[in-house]
Amino acid sequence: MTSPSALARRAAPMFACIGLLAVWQVASLALKNDSFPTAIEAIRAIPDILGDKESLINILASLRRMAIGFGIAVLVSIPLGLLMGRSRAVAAFFNPLLMVIYPVPKAALMPIIMLWLGVGDITKTLVIFLGVSLPVIYHSFEGAKAVEEKMLWSGAAMGLSPLQRLVRIVLPAALPEILTGCRTGLVLALITMITSEMIARQSGAGNILFNALDMGQYDTVYAMIIIVGAMGICLDAVFERVRARLVRWSEPQFDMPLSFS
């Protein structure tokens, strides 16, 4: 675990961050442009944002919508995907619908949803839900389809009912694939969260960012980008840890860790 090469691997993302900030700093100093603050200026603005009660409430509201949208999407999409993977009839019913929804950018649906549901929490949460659902359904579907038939037969011989087989064999067997979908879903949740707040400007992290842009507070704009980026990186790292623990039993899929964990 703590061999020099392992340490280097774990520290690599850290160096990448520092490198990126250094390049930014140099570029900004060289360009001397008002709308392009230096990295240090942007970082200095972060405590101001996080210290401000109003901003904090906004950011927490964003996170709450994201958690609810992601949570509901996962709770609905995993069972649906698994059922589709194991039942031809269910797959035939939902496939055409999903194929139509899949390529549509979910944010593009926002104007319609806003007309119906207003610009409040429900609309934004619904867009997050839509953004997260599809990759989770797709990966659950693929995972369930790939479950070895003899494993299900073994379960049937032990007396498991079809529903028990779905929950106690298909679900764990497909878990590595499902969690891959959830990880994509988590990043998409963050993206749709910010996008939705840019379109329906009222509250949230995306709103702070665009208000600052309107008022020409460029250091705040860049600071918000850093904050949102850091949130994404932290969420992904935490999720990756949980994922790795849950599927310890399965074959390692990548030699290189694709996260900051």
Which own/partner contact pairs does 240-244 have at CB distance under 8 Å and 24+ positions apart?
Answer: 240/183, 243/179, 243/182, 243/183
Per-residue mark of binding to other proteins, 129-148 (x: CB under 8 A): -------------------x
Contact between 172 and other proteins by CB under 8 A: the answer reads: yes
Contact between 245 and other proteins by CB under 8 A: the answer reads: no
Only one of the segments 4-12, 205-213, 226-234, 247-255 lies at the binding site for other proteins (rule: CB under 8 A); that segment is 247-255
Only one of the segments 16-24, 122-130, 165-173, 184-192 lies at the binding site for other proteins (rule: CB under 8 A); that segment is 165-173
Neighbours of 65 (CB within 10 A): 27
Q: Which of 115, 157, 163, 256 binds other proteins (CB under 8 A)?
A: 157
Q: What angle do CA 165, 186, 108 make, to 5 degrees?
A: 110
Contact between 253 and other proteins by CB under 8 A: the answer reads: no
* Residue 144 CB contacts under 8 Å (≥ 6 apart), including other chains: 81, 82, 83, 84, 85, 86, 170, 174
Q: Which of 160, 191, 199, 238 binds other proteins (CB under 8 A)?
A: 160
Contact between 175 and other proteins by CB under 8 A: the answer reads: yes
Alpha helices in 146-261 (DSSP H): 149-157, 162-165, 171-199, 205-214, 218-246
Residue 245 CB, nearest approach to other proteins (Å): 12
- Of 13 and 155, which has the nearer Cβ to other proteins? 155
Rounded distance between C-alpha atoms, residue 46 and residue 226, angstroms? 8
Q: How many residues bind other proteins (CB under 8 A)?
A: 19
Residue 148 CB, nearest approach to other proteins (Å): 6
CA distances from 102 to 131, 160, 192 (A): 9, 35, 15
* Tokens describing residue 100: 């139509």
Rounded distance between C-alpha atoms, residue 206 and residue 3, angstroms? 42
Per-residue mark of binding to other proteins, 195-234 (x: CB under 8 A): ----------------------------------------
Per the listing, tokens 């593009």 go with 108
C-alpha closest to that of 223 among 94, 52, 61: 52
Contact between 158 and other proteins by CB under 8 A: the answer reads: yes
Contact between 169 and other proteins by CB under 8 A: the answer reads: yes
Residue 238 CB, nearest approach to other proteins (Å): 22
**CA 63: distance to chain centroid?**
12
* Amino acid at residue number 251: E
Residue 161 CB, nearest approach to other proteins (Å): 10
Q: Which residues bind other proteins (CB under 8 A)?
A: 148, 150-151, 153-154, 156-160, 169, 172-173, 175, 247-251
